[in-house]
Structure 1
C-alpha cells in the first residue's frame, strides 16, 4: 500500500509541477492535482502552492505522505495544460491506470510553433493595432518591421536563458530604436503610432490575468507573486523604451 501511495504522490506532484511551470492558474493546478490523486485511489489530497514550489500531501487508509517540488518557470504553454487535463479525465473514467497515466505524463512535451511563424504573426498583430489607431500602410509596414525584429531579439535572448527582465528590457530597447526611425524620417501619417504599437507584444497580459484570477479565487500569495512579476516585466519594458528614446532624442507618444 505504501509503495502505491508513494507512486500516486509522485504522479500528483509531477502533474502539479508541470501545470505550474507552464502557466496554469492556481485554482486549476490545485483542482487537477486533487482529482488525479482521488482518481488513483487515495482518500485525500492536500495542496499548498507558492510562486516557485508546491507541497502535496496524500492520505490513504490513515497513512500520510508529503512531498515537495520546486517549479521553475518554463514559459506559458497551454498544450501541456490541456494534455494533463485530458489525462486527469481519462483517469477519472478508469480508461487509464496509474502506470499508463505516468507514461503519458512523461511523454508530454511543450511543443511550440515555428519561430518564423511566431515572428510573422507578432509583426502582423502589432501592425494591425497601428491600423486600428488610424495609421496608414506606411505606418503598418514600419510597425511590422519593428515588432518582428523585436520578436527575433526576444527569441534569441530567450534561447540563451537570460533573465526575463533583461529579455524584456533589451527587446523593448531594440523595438523602440527601430520604431523611432519612423518619426525621424517622418514615415506615414502618424509615425508616433509606430512607437506605441510595436511594443504591445511585451504587455504581460497572461500573468496579469492569472494574478487577478488567483486573488479572486483565494490564492492570494500566488496572485501577489504573479502580479509583482508582471509589474517588474512592465517596468523592464518601460526602461528599455525610455533608454531607446533617450538615445535617439525622439520621445514620440510620451512627449
Structure 2
C-alpha cells in the first residue's frame, strides 16, 4: 500500500494545519510570558491532540519553529512572536485547553476558534483597579526600604500615575525601553517632589520607590529558569531585555534626581 493510500498517514495539507495551530498556541504562551518548557509542552500537547507528533521544535525569543509528522510524512513551519508581556490568566487558560485537547482530541479549526475566544474573553483586571494597586505596592515597598510616613501617599500617587501612563503607552505600541525611561522620570519626579512637599526627610528614597513598578520580575525569573533548564539562548535574550529595561529606567531615575537636586 502506498503512503498516499495509507489512512494512518496524515496528508501534507493536514500536517500543515496542525503545525500552524500548534505554533499559534506556542506564540500565545510565549507572549504571555511563558517559560520555554511551557511553550514546548503546549505545542506538543496541541499536535498530539490533533493526531500528529512533534518531531522537532525551536523556541526563539522572536520566532518559533515546529516540525510535526505522522508516519513518514513531516512538515516544518515557523511563526513570529510579538512583544512579550505577562498575562497569567490567559497563560493558564491556554495550557489547560492544550491538556484537554491532548486527552480528547479535536480539529484545527476548532482550536483556532477556541484560542480566539480565550484571547478575546479571558478577563483582565481593569486599569482603574490595577493602577492604584500598583501605587499601593510601590508605597508599601517604600516603607520596607525605610521611607517615612509623609512619603507614603506621594509614592502611592506616583506609582498609580506611572502604571496608568505605562498601560496607555503600551497600548500605543511605544518601545518598551522608551516607556521605562519616561515612566521612571515622571513617576520618580512625582514621588520625589510630592514627598518633599509633604515634609518627608526621605525624598530621594521616595523617588526610587515610585519607580519600582518598572522592575521586570517575571522576565528576570524566566530568564534564570530557562538557562537552568537548558535553554540558554532564550534565557540570555530575556536577560538582555531585562538589562535594557533597567538601563533605561536608570536613565529616567537619574533625570528625575537631577531635576529634584536642581530645585532643592
Q: Report the TM-score, using the length of structure 1 for normalisation.
A: 0.91
| Deviations 1:181-234 (CA, angstroms, capped at 9, x unpaired) | 146446235333312211111111111101111111111110010000000000
Contact 1:54 1:71 in 2 (8 A): yes
CA RMSD of aligned residues (A): 2.1
| Deviations 1:1-27 (CA, angstroms, capped at 9, x unpaired) | 213322211211111111112211111
> Superposed, which structure 2 residues align to 1:78-117 within 5 Å?
78-94=88-104, 96-109=106-119, 111-117=123-129
Aligned to 1:157: 169
Aligned to 1:214: 226
Shift of 1:123: 0.8
Aligned to 2:52: 42
Matched, 1:174 2:186: yes
Contact 1:49 1:222 in 2 (8 A): yes
Of 166-175 and 33-42, deviating more is 33-42
In 1, distance between residues paired with 2:135 and 2:76?
47
- Extract unaligned runs of 5+ from structure 1: none
Matched, 1:230 2:242: yes
Matched, 1:30 2:19: no
Contact 2:154 2:195 in 1 (8 A): no
In 2, distance between residues paired with 1:210 and 1:36?
23
Contact 1:44 1:60 in 2 (8 A): no
Matched, 1:131 2:169: no
> Superposed, which structure 2 residues align to 1:54-69 within 5 Å?
54-69=64-79
Shift of 1:134: 3.8
State how many pairs are aligned. Answer: 252
| Deviations 1:54-104 (CA, angstroms, capped at 9, x unpaired) | 100001111111101011115211122111111112112216454433321
Shift of 1:142: 1.3
Of 31-40 and 59-68, deviating more is 31-40
Are the structure 2 counterparts of residues 143 and 15 from structure 1 closer, same or farther at C-alpha, using a change threshold of 3 Å? same
Matched, 1:197 2:171: no
Aligned to 2:20: 10
Q: Secondary structure at the match of 1:6?
A: helix
Are the structure 2 counterparts of residues 46 and 251 from structure 1 closer, same or farther at C-alpha, using a change threshold of 3 Å? farther
- Extract unaligned runs of 5+ from structure 2: 1-9
Q: Report the TM-score, using the length of structure 2 for normalisation.
A: 0.88
Q: Secondary structure at the match of 2:223?
A: helix
> Superposed, which structure 2 residues align to 1:183-194 within 5 Å?
184-185=196-197, 187-194=199-206
In 2, distance between residues paired with 1:44 and 1:53?
17
